[in-house]
Structure 1
Amino acid sequence: MFDVVAIGAGMAGLICARQLRLAGYSVAVVEKSRGPGGRVATRRVHGTRADHGARYLEPQGDAVQALIDVLVDRQILQLWTDSVGEFRQGEILSIPSSCYVAPAGMNAVGKYIAEGLDVWYGRRVKAISRTESEMWHLALEVTDDNLELPQELIARAVVVAIPAPQALMFLDTELGFSSDFLDKLRSVEYDACITVMAGYPAAKQQDLSNLNPQWKSVAFPDDADLGWIGLDSSKRLDSQQPVFVVHSSGDFADRHLESVDLPTVGQQLLDRASEHLIPWLNQPEWLQVHRWRYAFCRNPLPVSCLVAQETLPLVCAGDLCGEGQIEAALRSGVAAAVWVDSQLQDLPLDFSVNS
């Protein structure tokens, strides 16, 4: 039995769990994947790493700035570039922007916040219910091979820090949630994204040196297919080959999200990238493709967190609340921690990510 269970080990769930754990509550985090960070994600591919989720951290507000400062001090993050490109009408415009990355992979951010937390990986919440003693009961579904942990949890309070459509799979009126609360969750919409990780022969490293591109990051705000391209291998300290990461536009992702042939979909994006940037981008040595069904929240709710009234303590948090993606997720996670604390013991909270 725990005081609090956080569902989802993304930025909101982790920062909320961290604040409550530091205050003295017993906290468990349930995460369906194998690691922390949510969309701040890294994949091991062909002897290297590629950031296939969040591209970098940039100062969006006080919450992200504080996290950047701590992670730079701990040598987890370093400055990647002080300008980003925008492709408009056939030209790349340079825009000042301080972008910080983790040479070990952007998932190092989630790993740092998760330090000291009890995170149950490979578990998806299948259903929640109320016990006779007025506690939350969570039934868990195994998503990994690890069968050692129990497949149920009991908690006094629940923080739901996953995309709204996933939360609605186990939140319904039968549990006492108001129609207003559920309607607000149903109103939240997301843009999908298809990400391609592509590696090229080591010999192309010399081509890159000769080209000496002045960009590491290029956004495509007006393209029907492309959303963003980054030279991911420039983040690594020991890169042996060029690696690019390409993000699709939302429209492209909608058209191909259910495709059963993702390599062909990924090749289409590389073909498009080669037309705009470097001709050999359509000739990868290898490629991998990842679908992000809930990549960007399109219409977040104008609240710091969404509280379920007239039930046992339960609150929704994440980038579905407030503006600013990672900034919004961090702020929402902290707001959820404050609310949960007010419903339990009202212990003093430490809002520093440096703790």
Structure 2
Amino acid sequence: MTSCVVVGGGLAGLLAARRLRDAGVSVTVYDAGSQPGGRLATRREMGGVWDVGAQHFTAREEPFVTLVDEMRATGMVRTWFRGLPPPDPPYLGADDPRRHEPHHRGHPGMSAIADHLARSLDVRTCAPVARLVRDGDRWRTETADATTTSSDAVLLTAPVPESLALLDAGGVRLPAAAADDLRALRYEPTLCVLGVLDGRSELPDAGAWYGDGDPVSWLGDNHRKEISPIPTVTIHAGAQFSREHLDADAASWTGALAAAAEPLLGRPVRVHATHRWRYATPVEPYPERTLVVEDAPPLVFAGDAFHGPRVEGAALSGLAAADVLLGRLGT
């Protein structure tokens, strides 16, 4: 049986792993986090629920549209709102279809999607990969706790800088053109505050607010999103604020971010927790769904930095990567 290691248990990695598994490939998924999903992350504590990373998503292209329809039929995916939440983007014309496009959420939380996809897969969580070593016509994946897995192929879906670091640690030299393309990919970070409110927020409509300013770029009322039994809010900072404070002590920026959100929420914010997404948003994604490394055993890069930075982009990249690997493996 042919084998593949997938590094990164986010949406791209999980969808690729399922497609490979269904084609008869033995697949092992390694993820550094405590739960699979990457930015499909939901936190449940002290009676509150917060979607921490990706807040919602659209479905525009096959086969992602069909996948979302299937999950909607089970109740695992539900429509949160249509169009873009306030403030009304000036770049959308009156007839722009995005004004009425459904935006979906996972239920009960975005992590439900990842949990479903990870079922029946060999997913190793809390298992950060330390290095990737070429071993003749195979790959050897070594984790931080010295676990070693040999495979015919490797799919790298973690943020590109992290994936490149694994290859560097294993002494793997990429072809110059591929290395240049990958090292040119950049990400914007996002700082996140998870707050508790003392009552219903004053956010309009479904409880979502989207802006392009700083310090606040997103507000999501998780109670009105129907995932939290108590009023909780997810606050995302804008790119500039996040860059400036990414490596600072959380105490130096949480108060400012919460205070900036309070006039929009109409409620004081009690900060419950924070999170830093160092590689939140690809700035200029790679133009193709995947990057295939030539002159090596099958090695493919995929994820939301490839062709599209949205949730759907990650999904389509993962599925495309699986198809490429199946071709390379002759499966």
TM-score > 0.5 by shorter chain: yes
User: Does the 8 A contact of 1:198 with 1:245 survive in 2?
Assistant: yes
What is the aligned residue count? 323
3-state SS of 1:182 partner: helix
Q: What one-letter code is carried by the residue in structure 2 that aligns with 1:122? A: C
Residue matched to 1:288 = 273
Would you say 1:115 and 2:119 are equivalent positions?
A: yes
Would you say 1:106 and 2:110 are equivalent positions?
A: yes
In structure 2, do the counterparts of structure 1 residues 216 and 159 end up closer, same or farther at CA, with 3 Å as the change threshold?
A: same
Distance 1:244 1:2 in 2: 45
Q: Which moved more, 1:76-85 or 1:33-42?
A: 76-85
The correspondence for 1:217, drawn from 202, 208, 212, is 208
3-state SS of 1:302 partner: coil
Would you say 1:70 and 2:70 are equivalent positions?
A: yes
The correspondence for 1:337, drawn from 319, 322, 326, is 322
Residue matched to 2:181 = 184
Residue matched to 1:147 = none
Residue matched to 1:246 = 235
Would you say 1:236 and 2:226 are equivalent positions?
A: yes
Residue matched to 1:350 = none
Structure 2: 5+ residue stretches without partners: none
Distance 1:169 1:287 in 2: 33
User: Does the 8 A contact of 1:63 with 1:327 survive in 2?
Assistant: no
Would you say 1:226 and 2:216 are equivalent positions?
A: yes
Would you say 1:169 and 2:157 are equivalent positions?
A: no
Question: How far 1:44 sits from its partner (Å)?
Answer: 1.5
The correspondence for 2:306, drawn from 307, 314, 321, is 321
User: Does the 8 A contact of 1:191 with 1:294 survive in 2?
Assistant: yes
Which string of whole-angstrom CA distances, capped at 9 and with x for unpartnered residues, describes residues 194-238 of structure 1? 11110123xx24xx5xx68434211112x2211111111122366
Would you say 1:272 and 2:260 are equivalent positions?
A: yes
User: Does the 8 A contact of 1:157 with 1:313 survive in 2?
Assistant: yes
Structure 1: 5+ residue stretches without partners: 143-149, 347-355
User: Does the 8 A contact of 1:4 with 1:25 survive in 2?
Assistant: yes
Would you say 1:141 and 2:144 are equivalent positions?
A: yes
Distance 1:215 1:303 in 2: 35
User: Does the 8 A contact of 1:12 with 1:329 survive in 2?
Assistant: yes
What TM-score, normalized to structure 2? Answer: 0.91
User: Does the 8 A contact of 1:63 with 1:330 survive in 2?
Assistant: no
Distance 1:265 1:47 in 2: 25
Residue matched to 1:130 = 134
Question: How far 1:24 sits from its partner (Å)?
Answer: 0.8
Distance 1:253 1:63 in 2: 34
Distance 2:99 2:193 in 1: 24
Distance 1:167 1:106 in 2: 24
The alignment-based identity, stated in percent, is 28
